[in-house]
Amino acid sequence: MSISKNDVLKVLTEVRARKGDRNFRQSVDLVVNFRELDLKRPENRINVNATVPHSIGKTAKVCVFASGDLALRARRAEVDLVIEPDRLRELGTNRKEAKKLFSKYDLFLAETSMMANVGRVAGPILGPRGKMPTPVPPNAPIEQVIEREKKSVPLRTRDKAFIQLGVGTEDMEDDKLAENTEVILSTLVSSLKRGMGNIRSVYIKTSMGEPVRLK
């Protein structure tokens, strides 16, 4: 069994018909139900990222741990927060403040030379949330890295036999929604032991709309 872009496009037409009129922009969600996958066992849980071709339409707040030139270029790229080594050391002495600060951001990048200290200070807070920083070499083109990370969609499961995540918003073109969905499903399938054999069903829906099954 496989799911093609045309399959997704057909379903999106029905999804839009069932979305209902709302006074806010609805997200378009993908819901995947698993079978024969014991997610109570940690080794069976899914923890991967899918890099989609189109932004899913949500504004992600970015925090960068960096020093020197990389910190300067990150600020020029207008990231939401840059944390340099001295500030990181301060946060290391105040877990409550660190937890409160990190909760405000969605994406985290860290200069490779700072990864050990970032892991010590931020790891216990960000790790359980699946938000560990992506390592960045000091000479990396930070604008391109940020753009790529904003298109990275985390696929995470705990002990429930399904996953639900956004693939875009209702004001996006169907082609873009379908292409994002294809990439996410392909990444998900490749991370499963039995591939499509571990998938019971797939649905697409808007935030408040009725789900439509992909067949």
* Same domain flag for 18 and 94: no
Contacts (Cβ under 8 Å, ≥6 apart) of 128: none
* Average pLDDT, integer, range 137-162: 90
* Average pLDDT, integer, range 140-155: 90
Nearest to 204, CA basis, from 8, 5, 2, 4: 8
Domain that holds residue 10: 5-56+152-214
pLDDT digits (tens, 9 = 90+) for 103-115: 999 899 999 999 9
Which CATH number fits the domain that encloses residue 171? 3.30.190.20
Among 134, 150, 166, identify where a domain stops. 150
* Same domain flag for 118 and 70: yes
pLDDT-derived band at 3, boundaries 50, 70, 90: confident
pLDDT digits (tens, 9 = 90+) for 71-124: 999 999 989 999 999 999 999 999 999 999 999 998 999 999 999 999 999 999
* Same domain flag for 66 and 122: yes
* Same domain flag for 72 and 143: yes
pLDDT digits (tens, 9 = 90+) for 175-187: 999 999 999 999 9
- β-partners of residue 28 are 168, 206
Using DSSP's 3-state secondary structure scheme, residue 167 falls into strand
Number of domains composing the chain: 2
Which CATH number fits the domain that encloses residue 140? 3.40.50.790
CB atoms within 10 A of CB 91: 18
pLDDT-derived band at 2, boundaries 50, 70, 90: low
Q: Please indicate whether residue 39 or residue 170 has the higher confidence score (pLDDT).
A: 170
37: tokens are 């996958």
Cα 107 to Cα 132: distance, rounded to the nearest angstrom: 8
Is the pLDDT at 58 greater than 80? The verdict is: no
* Same domain flag for 179 and 125: no
Tell me how far apart the 2 most distant CA atoms of the chain are, in Å.
54
pLDDT-derived band at 213, boundaries 50, 70, 90: very high
Cα 112 to Cα 119: distance, rounded to the nearest angstrom: 11
* Same domain flag for 156 and 146: no
207: tokens are 């935030």
pLDDT, residue 181, reads: 96
**What is the Cα 124 distance to its own chain's centre?**
19
Q: Please indicate whether residue 64 or residue 156 has the higher confidence score (pLDDT).
A: 64
Is the pLDDT at 202 greater than 60? The verdict is: yes
pLDDT-derived band at 139, boundaries 50, 70, 90: very high
Q: CA-based angle 11:13:19, to the nearest 5?
A: 100
| Helix boundaries (H) for the chain | 5-17, 68-76, 85-92, 95-102, 115-126, 142-150, 174-190
